[in-house]
Amino acid sequence: MKTSHLIIGAGPAGLAMAGRFSSTGIDYEILEQSDKVAVAWHNHYDRLHLHTVKQLSALPHMDFPDDYPVYVPRAKLVEYFQNYIQTFSIRPHFNTEVKSLKKKTDNWLVKTNTGKDIIAKNVIIATGVNRNMNIPNWPGKDQYKGSIIHSRNYKNPLPYKNQKVLVIGMGNTGAEVALDLTEHDVETHLAVRGEVGLIPRDVNGQPVQLTARKLDKLPFGLGDWLGTQIRKVIIGDMSKYGLRVSKMHPAAQLKETGKTPVIDIGTAKAIKQGKIKVHPGIKEFKSDGVIFTNGVSESYDAIILATGYRADVQDYLESTDGLLDHNNLPIEKIGQGNRKGLYFLGYDNYKLGGIFGTIRDDSLLILNDIATQNQGN
């Protein structure tokens, strides 16, 4: 198969790019290794909602329906994605996994599990930052006899009734999974290795995301200062509960460390109330639990690894020399030099405001570059 434009991945980023192409009348092909679009959102845990407001989280050319809540729930988001592919006549090649991608003269050669090669002038890689589960290999982990899963496989608290559960990792997923468990009367502990950036999702019923956009317009760094004061008042001192909150501004933390700030929807309050017990990082596992880095030993019936994901574009991209940053994410969105014609969408992890808004902006950036490229031919 030969095409001018090939999108790899039919998650939100791939759909956004397909929507851009469709609305502009540009022909393209899109590959998806699973049997449905946005497969991760079909499988996420039940209570998940977007932490960003709907008016800033829609894909290109199609707002969320008026009757959707401000924070869109997982099931509604899946419904939205289905309506999106129908609206823009997006027809992915399902069950098609890319095995290798390399430059061939002025085009890109894509080999897939179907045995059919694809030649494309431009390739938009949109396989996402959450492509593969990150599962650390702690000493003794194999001897643990309780239940242990990655958070990707967590659905709801029902299997954990009357159990003592440890959630390892406090990103947005770990914080919400811990909250979900404790709200259903599961004894919940949380292992947090380092400092955490915490931002309240709402203040006095108003989304902080919208407030922050207004504060950004204030001069002399006044907006950052006000934002810091708001976080101090709402979040407060968490150190006495065993949680170290970063003093860095969330945007700086995101850019310098790659750690996305935790949008707090109640986990901090549950920690203060003693409903969630916080521990430091893991030193090693034992047969019935773990030993923390402070030497404390605890037994657990089940452990949930909220330890994040890896993008792993190097699995199929022939050469990544000079491409990846310290978090193994692509540095460039628009390929340069021998990567001309290669684009990366959905990997910019250094913006506050949510991945959906970034995808919308960056898909337009890529579309404009491709349009400029075509005008030059």
Distance CA 108, CA 4 (A): 10
Write down the pLDDT at residue 223.
47
Give the chain's domains with CATH numbers. 2-131+311-375 (3.50.50.60), 134-305 (3.50.50.60)
Distance CA 30, CA 321 (A): 26
Residue 186 tokens read as 């599961």
Secondary structure of residue 76 in the 3-state scheme: helix
- HSE-CB of 162 using CA atoms within 13 angstroms: 0
User: 182 to each of 49, 189, 358, how far by Cα in Å?
Assistant: 18, 9, 32
Write down the pLDDT at residue 173.
96
- Please say whether the beta carbons of 298 and 289 come within 8 A: yes
Phi, psi (deg, nearest 5) at residue 163: -115, 165
Distance CA 313, CA 105 (A): 21
Ranges in the chain, pLDDT < 50: 218, 222-223, 225
Q: Which amino acid is at 374?
A: N
Write down the pLDDT at residue 23.
97
Evaluated on CA atoms 34, 40, 42, 44, the torsion sign reads: positive
- Please say whether the beta carbons of 8 and 18 come within 8 A: no
Distance CA 332, CA 319 (A): 14
Write down the pLDDT at residue 204.
80
* Cβ-Cβ contacts under 8 Å for 174 (sequence gap 6 or more): 151, 167, 168, 190, 304, 306
* Cβ-Cβ contacts under 8 Å for 192 (sequence gap 6 or more): 169, 170, 242, 243, 244, 278, 279, 280, 281
Write down the pLDDT at residue 327.
81
Write down the pLDDT at residue 170.
95
Name which of 6, 120, 19, 24 is nearest 62 in CA terms: 19
Write down the pLDDT at residue 375.
66
Secondary structure of residue 277 in the 3-state scheme: strand
pTM of the model: 0.91
* Cβ-Cβ contacts under 8 Å for 344 (sequence gap 6 or more): 124, 125, 313, 330, 332, 333, 335
Secondary structure of residue 219 in the 3-state scheme: coil
215-254 pLDDT tens trace:
555 455 544 545 566 667 778 889 999 999 887 766 666 6
Write down the pLDDT at residue 209.
77
